[in-house]
Amino acid sequence: MLKTQSIDPAALDMLKKAAADGIETVWDRYEAQQPQCGFGSLGICCRHCIQGPCRIDPFGQGPSRGICGATADVIVARNLLRQVAAGASAHVDHAYDAVEALELAAQGKINYPIADEHKLRAIASGLGLDATGEDLNALALEVVKVAYADMGNHSRKPMQWLTAHAPKERLAVWESLGILPRNPDREIREALHQTTMGMDADPVNLLLAAAKQGLVDGYAGLKLATDMQDILFGTPAPVVTEANLGVLKADYVNLIVHGHVPLLSEKIVHWAKALAGEAEAVGAKGIQVAGVCCTGNEVLMRQGVPLATNYLAQELALVTGAVDAMVVDVQCIMPSLAQVASCYHTELITTMPIVKIPGATHIPFSLERADEAAQEIVRKAIAAYAKRDPRKVRIPDHRSTIMAGFSVEAITGALAQLDAEQPLKPLVDNIANGNILGVVATVGCNNVKVTQDIFHVEMVKELLKNNVLVVATGCSAHALAKAGLMNSEGTGQYAGPTLKAVLSAVGQAAGLGAPLPPVLHMGSCVDNSRIGDLVTAIAAYLGADTSALPVAASAPEPQHEKALSIGTWAVAMGITTHLGVVPPVLGSKQVTELLTDGLTGVIGGKFYVETDPVQAAQGLIADIRAKRQALGLTN
């Protein structure tokens, strides 16, 4: 059992309440699963055909091949490819919904006005379209046409969303490896095919196919979703609010949005404001919306909605007894929420045709009836407020001030105060002179195998102390927000001296009157595309390959298949990518070696696994120093 479940004081408080209230949590279920299956942990079991299941004996005493003859190397590589493809499928499905929304919005068929003309024109012109016309809807439909052409591409040409946005040097590398994706759906289908019984038995070929899935994820998932969402809802700009369960309010209707796609949560935020009077009519002071997981990050970035908590504490949000409704869309939603909600007055509301949970209320959400569904959901929360039992309510008094909203546009906007002509120059100059040693992106989840948030927070503190600038997304961003690493005081407390000086200078120039936070919140997991865009822009400014930059990535506590896909994309971008939890690959020496070293020579990036936070920071710093040295920069 873990010594401590979490370092988040609000979560620890709610765990005590959960025990007192007789609520089972993810940590109880984790304990009940011990010991976890060794074959599964090593990745050496196969269920790809019904002659199996087959498993390989890791000690060399029993079978070394499955019934069909597949070796441990083949089984591990096939399993990994399927996981990466599954993660990519989640992001591409998300992006597809956003493309469809932009299409229907531009056709005037749904009530989603286009919010960001500037982003629309920028994307259109990047795709080689004439972006100067007056008619925004017509332009949006042109952009949609390109996205749909990728989704339905029957030719052998690579996806245009990728060729238009990826670094040119990388395109050449991917082409030489034969991993340029054509049509995301086709590639995901091919990965499933390639891993069925009696197909690919070459671990190298299977891992290159995984790299291709990483590119599907990066460009047809992350990048496409973010671009569409920015056009529809606006590109984030700095906002200030708070994070952690203390943002819930005893005398307000508390409505939590949980999941990933902002198409629903944006409407909830709108209608929660519009229907505040109805909440007052039942005796509440108003409606407090707060976010869990990535939809929380989406509405934080664009609307300044506070963050409730991240993945591992989603049940604990309900244990406060103060949540009147939790509405979910897709991904990372624990089925156990229905059981927890049933112990309180909380309405758990599912909305999507592919996410139904017995015990939850299902209110179908569609783009066409988005406003009606959102009103119905907000009214359900208001009605539930009257049923709240004050004796069951305890809101932990923990919250941290955060500044978020750091899109690439917001970052370059702040830097433009120092150099209007070349906004990236101040950043690049400070990296070159060593004031900023390098940049690390911390991304991804919580994983119950790790004390909640500890890896994110401990590793990032070590990086900051060494003058490494940190940008964050996903549940990593939640963790760092809760720990006070996303406000100006955090800069004073945790940033090394030269990093502090740079953040102070930029903060002053941008008119904040205080330093920029030491960790820049760049959004949800699909917003890892923003980090990709920033890296791409810096590489272009320097005329260098992304693999040469003193930049690294880390998923300190990954749990989801999506985290593996994002990590694979980062590696394909040539970036060293740390994982703080060992993925199920150790059953194959060959696959492990290829992922952490063997493929670096051809692709530029590599996975780096280290399960101690401070060691991991040191490893990333060593990697950054090696890249600096290769660029001829001082350390």
Positions that interact with ligand SF4 (CB under 6 A): 46-49, 51-54, 66-68, 70, 197
Binding site for ligand BF8 (CB under 6 A): 260, 293-294, 311, 332, 444-445, 474-475, 525, 559-560, 562-563
For residue 218, give the 3-state DSSP assignment.
Answer: helix
Kindly tell me which of 54 and 292 has the beta carbon lying closer to ligand SF4.
Answer: 54
Kindly tell me which of 474 and 587 has the beta carbon lying closer to ligand BF8.
Answer: 474
Kindly tell me which of 49 and 586 has the beta carbon lying closer to ligand SF4.
Answer: 49
Kindly tell me which of 9 and 52 has the beta carbon lying closer to ligand SF4.
Answer: 52
Q: Cβ contacts of residue 28 below 8 Å, gap of 6+?
A: none
Look at residue 293 and give the partner it binds from ligand SF4, ligand BF8, none, a contact being a CB closer than 5 to 8 Å depending on partner kind.
ligand BF8
Kindly tell me which of 68 and 582 has the beta carbon lying closer to ligand SF4.
Answer: 68
Kindly tell me which of 149 and 197 has the beta carbon lying closer to ligand SF4.
Answer: 197
| Cα separation, 58 vs 588, whole angstroms | 9
Kindly tell me which of 222 and 276 has the beta carbon lying closer to ligand BF8.
Answer: 222
Spatial contact of 506 and 414, defined as CB atoms under 8 Å apart: yes
Give min distance, CB of 268 to ligand BF8, in A: 17
Kindly tell me which of 41 and 618 has the beta carbon lying closer to ligand SF4.
Answer: 41
- Which string of b and e fits 86-109 if b means at least 16 CB within 10 Å? bbbbbbbbbbbbbbbbbbbbbeee
Number of C-beta neighbours around residue 625 at 10 A: 16
Kindly tell me which of 314 and 375 has the beta carbon lying closer to ligand BF8.
Answer: 314
Give min distance, CB of 595 to ligand SF4, in A: 21
Long-range contacts (CB closer than 8 Å, 24 or more residues apart) made by 373-377: 373/264, 373/267, 374/264, 374/267, 374/268, 374/270, 374/271, 375/271, 375/275, 377/255, 377/268, 377/271, 377/325, 377/327, 377/349, 377/351
Give min distance, CB of 53 to ligand SF4, in A: 6
Q: Cβ contacts of residue 16 below 8 Å, gap of 6+?
A: none
Look at residue 562 and give the partner it binds from ligand BF8, ligand SF4, none, a contact being a CB closer than 5 to 8 Å depending on partner kind.
ligand BF8
Look at residue 16 and give the partner it binds from ligand BF8, ligand SF4, none, a contact being a CB closer than 5 to 8 Å depending on partner kind.
none
SS (H, E, C) 95-119: HHHHHHHHHHHHCCCCCCCCCCHHH
Start-to-end CA distance of the chain, whole Å, equals 41
For residue 365, give the 3-state DSSP assignment.
Answer: coil
- Output the CA–CA distances (angstroms, integers) from residue 494 to 334, 399, 498, 503, 512, in the order listed: 34, 18, 12, 12, 19
Q: CA dihedral defined by 440, 95, 580, 438, rounded to 10 degrees?
A: -10
Give min distance, CB of 201 to ligand SF4, in A: 10
Instruction: Indicate the pairing of strand 239-243 with strand 400-404.
Output: antiparallel
For 147, how many CA atoms within 13 A lie in the half-sphere containing its CB?
Answer: 28
Spatial contact of 405 and 301, defined as CB atoms under 8 Å apart: yes
Both structure tokens of 205: 């070929």
Both structure tokens of 600: 């670096």
Give min distance, CB of 47 to ligand SF4, in A: 6
| Cα separation, 185 vs 170, whole angstroms | 22
When computed from its CA atoms, the radius of gyration of the chain, rounded to whole angstroms, is 24
Kindly tell me which of 49 and 501 has the beta carbon lying closer to ligand SF4.
Answer: 49
Give min distance, CB of 58 to ligand BF8, in A: 28
Give min distance, CB of 196 to ligand SF4, in A: 8
Look at residue 49 and give the partner it binds from ligand SF4, ligand BF8, none, a contact being a CB closer than 5 to 8 Å depending on partner kind.
ligand SF4
Look at residue 96 and give the partner it binds from ligand BF8, ligand SF4, none, a contact being a CB closer than 5 to 8 Å depending on partner kind.
none
Look at residue 332 and give the partner it binds from ligand SF4, ligand BF8, none, a contact being a CB closer than 5 to 8 Å depending on partner kind.
ligand BF8
Look at residue 197 and give the partner it binds from ligand BF8, ligand SF4, none, a contact being a CB closer than 5 to 8 Å depending on partner kind.
ligand SF4
Look at residue 475 and give the partner it binds from ligand SF4, ligand BF8, none, a contact being a CB closer than 5 to 8 Å depending on partner kind.
ligand BF8
Kindly tell me which of 396 and 474 has the beta carbon lying closer to ligand BF8.
Answer: 474
Look at residue 66 and give the partner it binds from ligand BF8, ligand SF4, none, a contact being a CB closer than 5 to 8 Å depending on partner kind.
ligand SF4
Look at residue 68 and give the partner it binds from ligand SF4, ligand BF8, none, a contact being a CB closer than 5 to 8 Å depending on partner kind.
ligand SF4
Helix axes 72-106, 203-215, angle to 10 degrees: 20
Give min distance, CB of 559 to ligand SF4, in A: 25
Give min distance, CB of 49 to ligand SF4, in A: 3
Kindly tell me which of 297 and 588 has the beta carbon lying closer to ligand BF8.
Answer: 297
Listed residue (588, 634, 579, 629) closest to 608, CA to CA: 579
Look at residue 189 and give the partner it binds from ligand BF8, ligand SF4, none, a contact being a CB closer than 5 to 8 Å depending on partner kind.
none
| Cα separation, 301 vs 290, whole angstroms | 12
Look at residue 614 and give the partner it binds from ligand SF4, ligand BF8, none, a contact being a CB closer than 5 to 8 Å depending on partner kind.
none
Angle value at C-alpha 67, between 63 and 71, nearest 5 degrees: 60
Give min distance, CB of 200 to ligand SF4, in A: 11
Look at residue 222 and give the partner it binds from ligand SF4, ligand BF8, none, a contact being a CB closer than 5 to 8 Å depending on partner kind.
none
Give min distance, CB of 332 to ligand BF8, in A: 3
Q: Could you tell me how many helices (H) and strands (E) the chain has, helices first?
A: 28, 16
Kindly tell me which of 199 and 626 has the beta carbon lying closer to ligand SF4.
Answer: 199
Give min distance, CB of 76 to ligand SF4, in A: 11
Give min distance, CB of 262 to ligand BF8, in A: 12
